[in-house]
Chains A and B, each alone.
Chain A
């Protein structure tokens, strides 16, 4: 049982990127060979060469893997069926065109959240939790995912449970519900990922290399931010589903222990009546090659540098593909490649070293070389990679290297189709990308024809030192030479934009109000008693009883506010009367027992921000072009389907949930502060009463990251009282 256990442990651990904790391995990534003037290995002979020649190698038996059956329904759905009776299991994958490449930039993360909440959010008649239970008791899985080009539904079950799971799948395809609570859960997961994305060297270097390669805003490189995730609504997911999930947009593959004829009939009857939808237009993404130069990301808590060299790559239908593949093998693929032999084995500079020109099906990949080396050999490793690039250009590949590369590819070719499900997936993949179904055979022939001259030609074409951008992530103080030795250095700032902070600057929040947003704001102001009345408020006094949930403590509070940046609060605490004052000039607390104490500036800023979330403040700025009011769709608060209004302005972002009938703001959501750092604060308003013609809440409940924080019961509001300005001044020291 030990192995089983270790493997299941490995799954958890791998999910954390911790696979190394269980075992240390021989290689992490394919490595590369060396190009320098080393004697080509083939010219050196060992006794093994003769030993191997003496060993009989029977011809590989003729092997014609079973091909899947392809059918196309009248509504356009393509289905591949592949029988495989080895085990009593059935697996199915449904590939749907349209992925994150097509999501709006200001909603980066949409497809990821869609891919998660589609399944967890359940169907019209079954919640995601119910699906979890139904599937778990049958040891079946049904999952949804999003990727750059498509979204994907996959299922696996024992054959006896397949019909049941297929029914659930059909329900999920046709009647998804995207329950809000699961959207929120998916958002929490993404936000956790955002908050942790600078913890790991490898993750930073991979992400930033992609951004350098495609441009930071390219759909192939950009990553979700707090603000783009916050902008995603349930309506966005419903819209996505309505737009993309149509039979004519689907390629379905099924393999396992079934009878093809019966299964075909079953799938035809299940999906045949599904009406066709509009065809999906995927607009091409412009690709520009990376800008050469030296890029640096500072990370001080490491003793190793991750280095990446980045240039343009190719598409898989490029005529150069075959020669490039052979070159990749010689240059950076496997144990005998030049990079591996020279930089790892010979120089001992790295455990992980790799490099290849990547070829993608639908867009040019990137050429990326990488090495991880101790901080003190960073410059040496850069020189080493440069030398290998130069070596590919100046030292032609030898016949021996060519043979080695081609043999490795051709002799392992059988592993491309050594299981029925692999064969089917390959067909499904070619269909998806519009590649010929015999692409694999063409590939084999293409590789066979590659000559040494072809490899030299593509090496000179794709491995050009002057075209590479060089990225280094690490601790500069420990480098062997400053990076400026290699040229002017561009330092990249990877600070994670905090939720709400400067979202507009990041270009991720809505750039302008929408008409629905302005209309919704008008409704709120109207519901509260009218914009004119609200704008007339210059000062305010509010008395309340505040209960702090964590401490289980209640205090009476008497608050006076003047303008939009001065507040004075008197609290009756068990320890005596306490006064808090916050203005841009002074922020302090006073208590008889402790005298005056200044507040930390962060706390002062928080308090000032709170004043700029007040309804009367927003009313003052309802026509301010600096303020953006953006209606986002609907969301339930309690039993009420509220209208969501996102407000950007006053240095923050704020979300209101508005009762469509009364115009009351039932809930406000924004970035607050908890004792442990930034936290999502939700404030719920209720118990509405009219005072001086204004409709106001008399009960307020707030939570931080879902934990109850405080409640307030208001006993009185007084508008425009006379306020003595001196109460906001800090008393002179006694």
Chain B
């Protein structure tokens, strides 16, 4: 008797020790993290991680493709590209003259575009003349430009991982530098968000259009996902192309981009996280010096549009030369919803690794799919998004089989309690995965900035683990029954067709400049 009691106690202790590990870390982070909100509303988080003399940062602006104005899809992403073009001091030999030249470019574009898009009475000769005038204006403005000067400075100072990305929900900028370049960073990052100059705008639009061709038009799955979103959303901008519909993308203008910038790139709409060998007493005076003078602006009002309830299933079928692919999505609430953690648990349960339900049922046992998963995040999480399931059929297996197998697993979620072991496994994994994400500067900066921006507190990163810990079997069944119903479903698939019917989908972009 005595012996078995001892073993039992050991087991309990082991469990307790395991679950206490992340909490210790939260305490240790508490000591290393300083948060400051400047008078103009900018939030800066610093996390000290002194191991090596380097640091990383992550700047999030609370404006993504969702904020693209009507008729200007792609604008948030376009501005992200412009944030690499320099300022009135970076990348120009003579800003006073360049400014005049750039205004002329904008006027020349407007005149040309107006003449070119006349629905009646378009005068080809006039268009050609205005096109030449536009090209000349661009040429004239280019003489003042030092190309890619912003990136050049970052790279020469030893910067690595220089990049940015635009999602439906937000836009983010990031790179890493040696720690002794901190002030140079403050100079560059404050300048690009306080005095950006939208030079080379119209040429960069072509670059972005090539990005669209790469990721969407010439990628079967990219094309399918764009259609999937368009089908899943009736009113909310989540249904729009994030990189931009081709016709709108080709007509974005620099004055419109400037307007977008003024509205959304305000300090109160921005969070910056810094992680590395930096000290608060060194960082914050410099931050104050460079970012403090940026004028404050109102935090933009939240979006009014709420996606109306879906009441009918929608299906998109693409017949392509490429191999079949299946995805289906169900509307779910945003990541502020109390059930958010339940969706996280469901996602882990059905998708994570070789013990997941979709892997075991579809890949291992039925041998019909090469891979399958269920996840949140498409198109975003800030507004009600989708919980999506996808599967990649093995050769010879059909999208119908994918749908059927996924629906079997959904029915299990709805009708059977998950086992204690499964639930515990998910919870343990959530904790361990959080710890693994804390192991490098850039990863940590991403996590801290994201939590701070979304929830107003970086600690939410650690609290999310507690929320997952509280999820019950009943929660899983309740949420599955509420969400995974046919009327709330949108399906998209690629069906293989070696000779698909030709549609008039040629790339219609004209060579305009």
A residues with a Cβ closer than 8 A to B are 1-10, 12, 15-18, 20-28, 41, 44-48, 51-52, 55-61, 63, 65, 86-89, 120, 128-129, 132-133, 136-140, 156, 158, 160, 184-185, 188-189, 191-193, 195-196, 198-202, 300-304, 334-336, 340-341, 344-352, 372-376, 404, 407-408, 410-415, 417-420, 478, 674, 676-680, 704-706
Contact, CB under 8 Å: A407 / B156: yes
Contact, CB under 8 Å: B151 / A373: no
Q: How far is the CB of A576 from chain B (nearest CB, A)?
A: 30
A302-B396 contact given A60-B179, A335-B162, CB 8 Å threshold: no
Residues of B within 8 A of A334 (CB): 151, 155, 162
Q: Which listed residue (B89, B95, B148, B363) contacts A336, Cβ 8 A? A: B148
A88-B450 contact given A8-B375, A303-B213, A677-B396, CB 8 Å threshold: no
Cα A706 to Cα B401 in complex, Å, equals 13
Q: Which listed residue (A1, A12, A18) contacts B460, Cβ 8 A? A: A1
Residues of B within 8 A of A350 (CB): 207, 210
B residues with a Cβ closer than 8 A to A are 14, 17-18, 21, 25, 51-54, 77, 80-81, 84, 86-93, 95, 146-160, 162-167, 169, 176, 178-181, 183-184, 187, 200, 203-211, 213-222, 225, 242-243, 320-323, 335, 340-341, 344, 347, 351, 353-355, 363-364, 366-368, 370-371, 373, 375-378, 380-382, 390, 392, 394-398, 421, 424-425, 428-429, 431-440, 446-447, 449-451, 454, 460-461, 464, 496, 500, 506-507, 509, 511
Contact, CB under 8 Å: A46 / B464: no
Contact, CB under 8 Å: B377 / A195: no
Q: How far is the CB of B198 from chain A (nearest CB, A)?
A: 14
Can you name the residue of chain A whose Cβ is closest to the Cβ of B54?
A: A418
Q: How far is the CB of B230 from chain A (nearest CB, A)?
A: 13
Since A45-B93, A86-B51, A373-B210 are in contact, a sample of 19 more A-B pairs with Cβ atoms closer than 8 Å, ordered by chain A residue number, is A1-B460, A2-B169, A4-B434, A18-B221, A22-B378, A46-B146, A57-B184, A158-B18, A199-B321, A304-B214, A304-B218, A335-B150, A335-B162, A372-B210, A411-B156, A412-B158, A412-B178, A418-B53, A676-B397
A5-B14 contact given A20-B222, A48-B153, A417-B52, CB 8 Å threshold: no
Contact, CB under 8 Å: B149 / A301: no
Residues of A within 8 A of B394 (CB): 188, 191-192, 705
Across chains A and B, which 5 residue pairs bring their CB atoms closest together, nearest first? A335-B151, A411-B158, A3-B450, A20-B215, A9-B377
Cα A140 to Cα B433 in complex, Å, equals 10
Can you name the residue of chain B whose Cβ is closest to the Cβ of A705?
A: B396
Contact, CB under 8 Å: A192 / B392: yes
A57-B167 contact given A5-B335, A26-B80, CB 8 Å threshold: no
Cα A408 to Cα B449 in complex, Å, equals 27
Cα A374 to Cα B508 in complex, Å, equals 11
Q: How far is the CB of B513 from chain A (nearest CB, A)?
A: 8
Residues of B within 8 A of A58 (CB): 180
Q: How far is the CB of A254 from chain B (nearest CB, A)?
A: 15
Can you name the residue of chain A whose Cβ is closest to the Cβ of B356?
A: A136
Q: Which listed residue (A25, A46, A340) contacts B163, Cβ 8 A? A: A25
Contact, CB under 8 Å: A12 / B203: no
Cα A677 to Cα B153 in complex, Å, equals 56
A185-B363 contact given A46-B91, A48-B90, A192-B394, CB 8 Å threshold: yes
Which of A46, A160, A372: most chain B Cβ within 10 A? Answer: A46
Q: Which listed residue (B21, B353, B460) contacts A88, Cβ 8 A? A: B21
Q: Which listed residue (A4, A8, A411) contacts B447, Cβ 8 A? A: A4
Residues of A within 8 A of B200 (CB): 345
Cα A195 to Cα B375 in complex, Å, equals 26
Cα A321 to Cα B460 in complex, Å, equals 48
Can you name the residue of chain A whose Cβ is closest to the Cβ of B335?
A: A2
Cα A351 to Cα B213 in complex, Å, equals 9
Contact, CB under 8 Å: B77 / A676: no
Contact, CB under 8 Å: B507 / A376: yes
Can you name the residue of chain B whose Cβ is closest to the Cβ of A675?
A: B398
Contact, CB under 8 Å: A414 / B52: yes
Can you name the residue of chain B whose Cβ is closest to the Cβ of A63?
A: B53
Residues of B within 8 A of A408 (CB): 155-156, 158
Can you name the residue of chain B whose Cβ is closest to the Cβ of A409?
A: B158
Cα A415 to Cα B368 in complex, Å, equals 44
Cα A20 to Cα B226 in complex, Å, equals 11
Contact, CB under 8 Å: B509 / A374: yes
Cα A211 to Cα B232 in complex, Å, equals 42
Contact, CB under 8 Å: B439 / A336: no
Residues of B within 8 A of A15 (CB): 371
A375-B507 contact given A6-B167, A20-B214, A139-B429, CB 8 Å threshold: yes
Cα A46 to Cα B436 in complex, Å, equals 43
Cα A41 to Cα B203 in complex, Å, equals 19
Residues of B within 8 A of A346 (CB): 147, 203
Contact, CB under 8 Å: A44 / B93: yes
Can you name the residue of chain B whose Cβ is closest to the Cβ of A403?
A: B156
Q: How far is the CB of B512 from chain A (nearest CB, A)?
A: 11
Contact, CB under 8 Å: B54 / A137: no
Cα A10 to Cα B90 in complex, Å, equals 34
Q: How far is the CB of A8 from chain B (nearest CB, A)?
A: 7
Residues of B within 8 A of A138 (CB): 428
Contact, CB under 8 Å: B152 / A188: no
Q: Which listed residue (B14, B93, B208) contacts A351, Cβ 8 A? A: B208
Q: Which listed residue (A156, A198, A411) contacts B436, Cβ 8 A? A: A156
Contact, CB under 8 Å: B211 / A351: yes
Residues of A within 8 A of B176 (CB): 415
Contact, CB under 8 Å: B377 / A22: yes
Q: List 17 A-B contacts (CB under 8 A).
A: A12-B390, A26-B164, A55-B187, A57-B181, A188-B370, A201-B219, A302-B213, A351-B208, A374-B210, A374-B509, A412-B160, A414-B52, A418-B52, A418-B53, A478-B506, A676-B396, A705-B367
Q: How far is the CB of B76 from chain A (nearest CB, A)?
A: 9
A52-B184 contact given A21-B225, A374-B507, CB 8 Å threshold: yes
Cα A676 to Cα B158 in complex, Å, equals 55
Cα A351 to Cα B449 in complex, Å, equals 28
Q: How far is the CB of A185 from chain B (nearest CB, A)?
A: 7
Q: How far is the CB of B469 from chain A (nearest CB, A)?
A: 14
Contact, CB under 8 Å: A344 / B207: yes
Residues of B within 8 A of A351 (CB): 207-208, 210-211, 214
Contact, CB under 8 Å: A336 / B151: yes
Residues of A within 8 A of B154 (CB): 335
Cα A4 to Cα B363 in complex, Å, equals 26
Contact, CB under 8 Å: A89 / B436: yes
A137-B159 contact given A57-B180, A89-B436, A351-B207, CB 8 Å threshold: no
Contact, CB under 8 Å: A52 / B344: no
Q: How far is the CB of A284 from chain B (nearest CB, A)?
A: 34
Q: Which listed residue (A46, A137, A193, A705) contacts B421, Cβ 8 A? A: A137
Cα A125 to Cα B373 in complex, Å, equals 30
Which of B157, B158, B183, B205: most chain A Cβ within 10 A? Answer: B158
Contact, CB under 8 Å: B396 / A27: no
Contact, CB under 8 Å: A5 / B395: no
Residues of B within 8 A of A304 (CB): 210, 213-214, 217-218
Residues of A within 8 A of B160 (CB): 412, 415
A411-B178 contact given A2-B450, A16-B392, A372-B214, CB 8 Å threshold: yes
Contact, CB under 8 Å: A160 / B210: no
Can you name the residue of chain B whose Cβ is closest to the Cβ of A673?
A: B396
Which of B210, B320, B500: most chain A Cβ within 10 A? Answer: B210
Can you name the residue of chain A whose Cβ is closest to the Cβ of B162?
A: A335
Contact, CB under 8 Å: B376 / A5: yes
Contact, CB under 8 Å: A12 / B435: no
Residues of B within 8 A of A8 (CB): 347, 375, 377
Residues of B within 8 A of A301 (CB): 218, 220, 320-322, 500
Contact, CB under 8 Å: B21 / A336: no
Residues of A within 8 A of B159 (CB): 412
Residues of A within 8 A of B156 (CB): 404, 407-408, 411
A87-B152 contact given A199-B322, A345-B203, CB 8 Å threshold: no
A25-B165 contact given A57-B181, A411-B156, CB 8 Å threshold: yes
